Amino acid sequence: MSGAILTQGLRSPMRRLAGLRQAKSISKSVVHNETILVKNNNEFINKVMNNDKPVIVNFHAEWCEPCKILTPKLKELIEPLHNLDLAVVDVEDNAELVHAFEVKAVPAVIAIKNGLIVDKFIGLVDADMINNLIDRMSGKKKEDA
C-alpha cells in the first residue's frame, strides 16, 4: 500500500472538539444525496461524529485546484451508497475544525467511523486508493483485505 494513506491508530478528536466554542449561528444541515455540507462545529458533531453510518470527511477550499477534481469524484462515488455519508468542510469557513483535525494541506480526507478517525489521506491520490477507502468504509471490502 502506498504511503499516501496515513493510517493512525483509532483515536477520537472529541476531546479537541469539546474545546471548540459553541457556534453562534444556528443552521440547518444541507443534505443532498448523502452529502453533508458542514456549516459549523455543532453540525459537524451532530452529523459526522454522531452519525450511525461511517462518514468520509473532505476538507477542501474553493481556491484549491486538486479539490476541484477530488470533491466531485467523491460525491459521484459516495452519493449512490446508502451505508456511507460524505461530509464536505470548507477550510476557509471552519478554521476550528481544521485545527481540531490538524489539517495542514488540502484536499485532506478523513474517514470517521463510530466517532473515531480510522483512516486519512492528503492530496490528490490515485483512483484505486479512493475506491479502496470507500469500499472499506462502506463494508464492501474487509478492512484488513
Find, among 9, 3, 2, the residue nearest to 117 by Cα. 9
Strand order of the β-sheet with 85-90 is: 30-32, 35-37, 85-90, 55-60, 108-113, 116-122
Q: How far is CA 144 from CA 4, 103, 135, in A?
A: 17, 26, 12
Looking at 20, 37, 61, 64, which residue is catalytic?
64
Looking at 38, 49, 55, 67, which residue is catalytic?
67
64 part of the active site: yes
Over its length of 145 residues, how does the chain's per-residue pLDDT go in tens digits? 444 444 445 556 666 665 554 444 444 444 444 589 999 999 999 999 999 999 999 999 999 999 999 999 999 999 999 899 999 999 999 999 999 999 999 999 999 999 999 999 999 999 999 999 999 999 887 554 4
Q: What pTM was computed for the model? A: 0.77
